[in-house]
Amino acid sequence: MKKRLLSLLLASSMVVSLAACGKSGEGNGQGTATGSAPADAATELVDGKFADTRTITVEVYDRGNDGGSDPTNNMYTKYIHDQMLEQHNVDVQFVKVPRWTEVDEINNLLAAQTAPDVCVTYSYATIQTYADMGGVLDLSSYVEDYKDVLPNLWDWLGESNIYWDKDPESGSIWALEARLANQNRICTFIRKDWLDTLGLEEPTTKDEFYNVLCQFRDNADKLLGADADKMVPYSVSYDVGWRAATLIESFMDPAITEKEYYVNGFDDRKLTENGTKDAIKLLNKWYNEGLMWDDFAVYGSGDTTEDDMMKAGYVGAFTHNWDYPYRNGEDSIEANLKRLVGEDASYVAIDPFEDSNGTHTKWIAGPIDRKIFFPVTNDEPLASLLYLDFISDPETIQYLQIGDENVTHTVADNGAIQIQAATGDAIQNSGMNIDYTITCNGLHLVDPEITELSLAYSYAGVDPNLILRADEIAKTDTRELGNVQVGAIESEAGFGEALSSKRDQVYDKALSASEADFDSVWDAGMQDYLASGGQTIMDERKTAWENAYGDAENLPEK
């Protein structure tokens, strides 16, 4: 609640500040917050370079990795800095923002008018809030007027991602959507060595998964010896809506219409979708039977307790991002597990949550990822767009993802890129360096065939077959969300953070309630969530859909 109040106060102060000072882009020859880019602005460039050095600041996530490299000063930032100076005469300076509190930090920076020139966030609601107050540049005319000098940006993102958030009435574009090179989302992982020790088959249904968890719990002494009291059969963490996504989706109607999904889908945690309550009720049963981590709700975003338990070998199964146990090279969950437990210890991907059709429907967003935007204080929009163009160059993406041969990767006889553990300032703090390739998430090398060949080898020290298996499962029975273009949902602005917090509380409290209290705890939490803005958003979304698409239940085919 204190964070929410602080954000509102800061936002209020920004309204006063903007009203007093006017738009920061005015009078600088680079355009204004309305997105009016001078038609001849690109003539400032000679062979793609400014005559006078321009300076821009760019946000980069600080993940606080133990033993990681400095996110603002390492091999990759030096490469970007030197190449941008050489190619465009633009001096790039990085500003670190804590990854796990990035929404709070971006709120604070925007309100104080000190945000970097190039900002990135997963929260479009945050962007919309400040756009409504005149604090974000409308990029619509910039990306079009400068199109001729942004070939890489247009080639990589395409009209789909550049226009993804375009308002159908005003034409404004407050953010560009980064592109997912790989749309995989979530997998469930299980200790294969534990299954082998107990003579169990890999579970393929919810019932089989439940039975395996019971066997883990009941054989804690055999599996963990003196550490039996640390046994966690199944873990999903405080962020239940994300971490239990495939279980939740298995309770939803596989034939759900795009209208129903959109109206009930303010965020990607599916709290208000039909079927979600039944999924959480099942988790509540498992929790009360001692099959889940007792203290899951205590450890919030950025805390490493859960990862540490996995690395130490105490967790039997968990659901997470499709490649989660294999990330981070020598500090990955898989690598630590083998060092601490033994070479046979390993997590493998499974697909145990069947839906009513007996399939495993997994909802995936369109090919969009993080949202990139420029605050109104950005007085170098052309230089900033040239930065995005450089970052979208296939050669740049490739270098940032794989680095230097024999330093961060080797090349196999068949041409596959094999990532190897790096040291010092060559360490990548994020998988495939996505914190720098902000327009691209997922392996994307210059040669598509080498990209496909290299995917399984892009995790240092990990058996490629584990990656291939997780990739296959993550792609099984996927259903891609369409782009619902109905304009801004005004009731969403300013409520993203507050409703996300309430959503997590609903999930966490209901999951950990006694079985007898589950219904009352869930219903009370939902009533509060809906009364706090959730129902208003859903109602406005329904009206917006019907205004745009009439009585259609699904988006028109393109």
**Residue 5: predicted pLDDT:** 38
Q: Which of 187, 185, 165 is nearest to 174 (CA)?
A: 165
In the predicted structure, residue 4 carries a pLDDT above the cut 50: no
pLDDT band at residue 264 under the 50/70/90 scheme: very high
Mean pLDDT of 360-384: 95
The span from the CA of 232 to the CA of 160, in Å, is: 43
- Residues constituting the chain: 558
Convert the pLDDT of each residue in 60-90 to its tens digit: 999 988 889 999 999 999 999 999 999 999 9
**Residue 366: predicted pLDDT:** 87
Q: Which of 14, 115, 99 is nearest to 65 (CA)?
A: 99
Convert the pLDDT of each residue in 406-443 to its tens digit: 999 999 999 999 999 899 999 999 989 999 999 999 99
The span from the CA of 304 to the CA of 146, in Å, is: 44
Strand partners, 118: 58
In the predicted structure, residue 25 carries a pLDDT above the cut 80: no
Higher pLDDT, 4 or 123: 123
Q: Which of 523, 529, 485 is nearest to 504 (CA)?
A: 529
pLDDT band at residue 461 under the 50/70/90 scheme: confident
**Residue 42: predicted pLDDT:** 58
3-state secondary structure of 304: coil
In the predicted structure, residue 160 carries a pLDDT above the cut 70: yes
Give the least confident one: 92-96, 280-284, 553-557: 553-557
At the top level of CATH, which class does the domain 2-180+371-397 belong to?
alpha beta
**Residue 350: predicted pLDDT:** 98
Residues 421, 427, 429, 431, CA torsion sign: negative
Instruction: Write down the domain spans for the chain.
Output: 2-180+371-397, 186-364+481-549
Is there a common fold for 2-180+371-397 and 186-364+481-549?
yes
Q: How far is CA 158 from CA 85, 140, 155, 182, 348, in A?
A: 26, 14, 5, 16, 36
**Residue 425: predicted pLDDT:** 95
Helix (H) or strand (E) holding 278: helix 276-288
The span from the CA of 422 to the CA of 407, in Å, is: 6
Residue 36 amino acid letter: S
In the predicted structure, residue 24 carries a pLDDT above the cut 50: no
CA distance from start to end of the chain: 44
The token pair that represents 53 in the structure block: 């050095």
Q: Over pLDDT 70: what percentage of the chain?
A: 92
Give the least confident one: 122-126, 335-339, 471-475: 122-126
Q: Which residues contact 428 (CB under 8 A, 6 or more apart)?
A: 69, 76, 403, 408, 422
Tell which CATH architecture fits domain 186-364+481-549: 3-Layer(aba) Sandwich (3.40)
Degrees (nearest 5) of the Cα angle 398, 402, 408?
A: 160
**Residue 11: predicted pLDDT:** 46
**Residue 53: predicted pLDDT:** 97
- In 427-466, where do the E strands start and end? 440-441
Kind of pairing, strands 54-62 and 49-50? unpaired
Strand partners, 234: 292, 317
The span from the CA of 264 to the CA of 256, in Å, is: 11
